Chain A
Amino acid sequence: MGRSDEVYGADVTTNDFINYKVMQGQHLYYIDNVRYEIFSSYTDFSQDAFMHTFFDFIQCGFSNPQIIDEQFCVKRTDNTRLLTKGTSVNFTVKNMWNYLYLVDFTGNYSEPQYYNKSSCIEIGLYYMTAGGSWGYVKGNSNSRMLFCDEPEAMSFYVEIDSIPEDAYQLCFSVKSDIKTAYGYGSDVYDKLKNSSYCIERYGGGSFMTVEVNKGLPVEDDEVEEPEDDTILGWLDSLFTGIKNLPGNISKALKSSFDFLSSGISNLGNVFNTVGDGIKSTFSSIGSNITNGLSNLGTFILDGLIGLFVPSSDYFEDYVERLRGFFEAKLGFLYAPIDLVVEVLEALNDANPQNASMTFPELKFQGYTVVESREFSFSDISEEFDLQEYIYFVTDIILVGAVFNLFQLKLRELIEG
């Protein structure tokens, strides 16, 4: 790793955003034609932000221009608080890279892991000291990684119980040879070779900490104070007891009333249950009678329909049987009938989407000079929305022609 001015390669454009606001940060890029590394540090986090989004945009001007962008999100939920001071070393991060797809993994990890499905990935979570040494960090049992095929997304969730005191940076690294796909430029498919994200200890504070309380309120984290067993402590507890006496009496009264009201409410529930039982019995009898009558009506109606009208498949089968019989018996005499039937079917199934022309391939001494190509007319008409206008014009012409024929025929009839 090095500093931001140590950029190898050609033109490199970078931008860092946190919640779409450009942030100052340290950037490090080791770039050659096939590899790059990213180092970014962020020191200013909003306490009340719902989500911090770290967005790196890198454009490398090599002979084959590559555009890579990535997102790194730390989400905040209702039971989450962000801390920037204190000595807590809990570290909970949800991270997501789009356009990756891999395998499923749950459990601890403390060093880079390799997973294989369609490709290889290496994920590392490590710390660095100010002196430049480093080591892997172990996630606890809540840590997990999830790689999804379908949405082409990867996420991992890390909780760290403890990290060394002299840790200066916490870093995630993801190394992979999986394709990332972005729709920019001509050479838009690039391989994510190596990326790492680091969060730096700043100004003597802790790492950015995201604590997630799994179903427990934040207040549960409060530390209980140890009891004082001296006389002053006993007097203090006595005065505290006297001070809290009215509150305790009101709490006791409230709990008594709560008990009584819950008893009454339970009695009401019993009556409700009995009433519901009676109601449901009568309603089930009524619904059975209604259903029975309805079923009888349906049965009679279906029987009458079935008596006169054959099933829809019958007519199709009947026509096919007749066609097969006459084709076999009448032989060449049936050919014109078959021709007419096929033309009528073609007229019925006519589809402008199928109107195409195939230009044959051109070969010279065994080498294909021009490959065969299919030209579809519907592509042009769809491209310029021509189809509707063509139909509009021809519809008017056809209807006009029919009216013209009608008035000619009518005149012919009237004039005798």
Chain B
Amino acid sequence: MIIQGLLDLIYNLLTSLFGWISLPALPKEINDVLDKFLECILGAVDFAALLFNFDLLKILIPVVLVIIYLDKVWKLVMFILKKIPFIDIH
């Protein structure tokens, strides 16, 4: 009930903030092109699933993201550690 109430509050805030905006949708022709593009991608995904184990990929993708941004993660960790006085890291 409590979490639900908070989420509903956020939803109401967002709807009241963006409620006045009303932008037009994409033209049908562009939408069709996008759909075709999406169809090709989805077909390719099924073919890729023949070669790659997607259960493993779902685990590896977050790991790869962490590794790619390892310097930033490293800086963040060090920043927090430096704030702790009795560890004495400079």
B42: interface (CB < 8 Å): yes
Q: A308-B2, A321-B11, A322-B11 are in contact. Are A402 and B63 (CB under 8 A)?
A: yes
Shortest Cβ distance from residue B12 to the other chain A in the assembled complex, whole angstroms: 11
Give complex CA distance A87, B71 in Å: 104
A333: interface (CB < 8 Å): yes
Give complex CA distance A395, B53 in Å: 7
Shortest Cβ distance from residue B25 to the other chain A in the assembled complex, whole angstroms: 5
Question: Which B residue sits closest to A325, measured CB to CB?
Answer: B15
Question: Which A residue sits closest to B22, measured CB to CB?
Answer: A329
Contact B23 A390 (CB under 8 A): no
Contacts of B56 in A (CB 8 A): 395, 398-399
Q: A318-B7, A322-B11, A325-B14 are in contact. Are A332 and B24 (CB under 8 A)?
A: yes
A-B contact count (CB 8 A): 112
Contact B1 A377 (CB under 8 A): no
Shortest Cβ distance from residue B9 to the other chain A in the assembled complex, whole angstroms: 12
Q: A307-B1, A331-B25 are in contact. Are A413 and B11 (CB under 8 A)?
A: no
Residue in A330, A377, A409 whose beta carbon sits within 8 Å of that of B70 in the complex: A409
Contact B3 A310 (CB under 8 A): yes
Contact B67 A406 (CB under 8 A): yes
Shortest Cβ distance from residue B17 to the other chain A in the assembled complex, whole angstroms: 10
Q: A322-B14, A329-B21, A409-B70 are in contact. Are A355 and B47 (CB under 8 A)?
A: yes
A278: interface (CB < 8 Å): no
Tell me if A's interface is mostly helix, strand, loop or mixed. Answer: helix
Give complex CA distance A310, B4 in Å: 6
Residue in A331, A332, A335, A398 whose beta carbon sits within 8 Å of that of B52 in the complex: A398
Contacts of A314 in B (CB 8 A): 4, 7
A339: interface (CB < 8 Å): yes
- Report the count of interface residues on A (CB-CB < 8 A): 46
Contact B21 A391 (CB under 8 A): no
Contacts of A394 in B (CB 8 A): 51-53
Cβ < 8 Å to B, chain A residues 328-371: 328-333, 335, 339, 342-343, 346-348, 350-352, 354-355
B64: interface (CB < 8 Å): yes
Contacts of B25 in A (CB 8 A): 331-332
Residue in B2, B7, B31, B70 whose beta carbon sits within 8 Å of that of A307 in the complex: B2
Contacts of B22 in A (CB 8 A): 328-329, 331
B57: interface (CB < 8 Å): yes
Give complex CA distance A310, B54 in Å: 30
Contacts of B50 in A (CB 8 A): 352, 355, 377-378, 381, 387, 390
Contact A306 B1 (CB under 8 A): yes
Q: For chain B, give the interface size range.
A: 35 or more
Contact B67 A350 (CB under 8 A): no
Contact B45 A346 (CB under 8 A): yes
Question: Which A residue sits closest to B48, measured CB to CB?
Answer: A350
Shortest Cβ distance from residue A14 to the other chain B in the assembled complex, whole angstroms: 52
Contacts of A381 in B (CB 8 A): 50
B88: interface (CB < 8 Å): no
Give complex CA distance A354, B45 in Å: 10
Contact B45 A350 (CB under 8 A): yes
Contact B24 A402 (CB under 8 A): no
Contact B54 A335 (CB under 8 A): no
Contacts of A22 in B (CB 8 A): none
A326: interface (CB < 8 Å): yes
Digit string of A209-238 for contact with B (CB within 8 Å is 1, else 0)? 000000000000000000000000000000
Contacts of B24 in A (CB 8 A): 331-332
Give complex CA distance A398, B24 in Å: 43
Digit string of A391-412 for contact with B (CB within 8 Å is 1, else 0)? 1001100110010011001101
Contact A402 B64 (CB under 8 A): yes
Since A318-B7, A377-B47, A390-B51 are in contact, a sample of 19 more A-B pairs with Cβ atoms closer than 8 Å, ordered by chain A residue number, is: A308-B2, A309-B3, A314-B4, A322-B11, A329-B18, A331-B23, A335-B34, A339-B34, A347-B45, A350-B54, A377-B50, A387-B50, A391-B52, A394-B53, A398-B57, A409-B71, A413-B70, A413-B71, A413-B74
Q: Jot down 15 A-B pairs with beta carbons below 8 A, ordered by A.
A: A307-B1, A310-B1, A329-B19, A329-B21, A331-B22, A332-B25, A339-B38, A347-B54, A350-B46, A351-B49, A390-B51, A395-B56, A402-B67, A405-B64, A409-B67
**Interface residues in chain B, defined as those with a beta carbon under 8 Å from any beta carbon in chain A:** 1-4, 7, 11, 14-15, 18-19, 21-26, 31, 34, 38, 41-42, 45-54, 56-58, 60, 63-64, 67-68, 70-71, 74
- Identify the 9 closest CB pairs spanning chains A and B, nearest first: A331-B23, A350-B49, A310-B4, A352-B49, A355-B46, A354-B46, A332-B26, A352-B50, A391-B53
